[in-house]
A and B are shown apart, each in its own frame.
Chain A
Amino acid sequence: MAVYETIVILDSLMAPKEIDALLEQVTGIIKENGGTVRKVDKWGKKRMAYEISKKQYGFYAAIEFEGPGNITKTLESDYNYNDKVIRYLTYKYDKQKLQSLKTLAEKEAAVTESAPVVEVTPAPEPVTEPAAEPVVKTAETVEAAKAEATAEETKETEE
């Protein structure tokens, strides 16, 4: 099955809850038609390069999914039905994109393989425990010192 990505520009005046609901609706459509959602990426509010339907700003969101080809058509009809969708783009990942994804994954794998060696050395937990203890110790030592001092004073007075 091919990998697709659909990018939607929504009305920037929508409430965050509404945006989430709409994105969930889209993911629902993908799942209903036998697709799997890989990634949901919210770009946020952006200024558009030109006005679309007298709006200067739009909320961009991208959904990456995998599935059969009929999903794109159903998504399109849904977008056309919805007034909040200013613009949309659904495209299939071509072989160059897939290749770049592969190399990225390989690079990440190489990083994670080399990373554990580095991660072994730092141990933040032991640092916090001694930090707590000395306070008590110092308090005790202060008390002990006071007691000693008083003892000495008493000795001096006795002498």
Chain B
Amino acid sequence: MIKMRRKRVCNFCKENVEYIDFKDERKLFRYLTEQGKIIPRHTSGTCAIHQRQLARAVKRARHLALIPFVTDFTR
């Protein structure tokens, strides 16, 4: 995935998101790398408040097997 360096606007703030739902895995996938890692704040541009919420949501989703912990390419 191409990392966007220039854009520094929080997507969640733009869309007035109050709560990041971990049940909606498709939205969470936008903030994960191909390996399933959480994209850091300085590349995705999310603000601190939403990044914290996002991290919690991702971790919950991983626990419930909605999102993989790691994705292996060598299958």
Contacts from A to B (Cβ < 8 Å): 7, 9, 48-50, 52, 58, 60, 87, 89, 91, 96-97, 99-100, 103
CB-based contact B65/A100 at 8 Å? no
Interchain residue pairs with CB less than 8 A apart (18): A7-B64, A9-B64, A48-B65, A49-B62, A49-B65, A49-B68, A50-B65, A52-B65, A60-B64, A87-B65, A89-B63, A89-B64, A96-B18, A96-B19, A99-B18, A99-B19, A100-B18, A100-B19
Q: Contacts of A9 on B, CB cut-off 8 Å?
A: 64-65
Q: Contacts of A100 on B, CB cut-off 8 Å?
A: 18-19
* Chain B binding surface SS class: loop
Q: Contacts of B20 on A, CB cut-off 8 Å?
A: 96
B51-75 contacts to A (CB < 8 Å): 53, 60, 62-69
Q: Contacts of A91 on B, CB cut-off 8 Å?
A: 60
Q: Contacts of A99 on B, CB cut-off 8 Å?
A: 18-19
Bound state CA distance, A48 and B61, in angstroms?
11
Say how far A62's CB is from chain B's closest CB, in angstroms: 8
Bound state CA distance, A89 and B65, in angstroms?
11
Contacts from B to A (Cβ < 8 Å): 18-20, 53, 60, 62-69
Q: Contacts of A60 on B, CB cut-off 8 Å?
A: 64
Given the known A-B contacts A89-B60, A91-B60, A96-B53, are A103 and B65 also in contact in the complex, defined by CB atoms under 8 Å? no
Q: Contacts of A97 on B, CB cut-off 8 Å?
A: 19
Say how far A110's CB is from chain B's closest CB, in angstroms: 16
Given the known A-B contacts A50-B69, A96-B53, are A103 and B18 also in contact in the complex, defined by CB atoms under 8 Å? yes
Bound state CA distance, A60 and B19, in angstroms?
22
CB-based contact B64/A87 at 8 Å? yes
Given the known A-B contacts A99-B18, A99-B19, are A58 and B65 also in contact in the complex, defined by CB atoms under 8 Å? yes
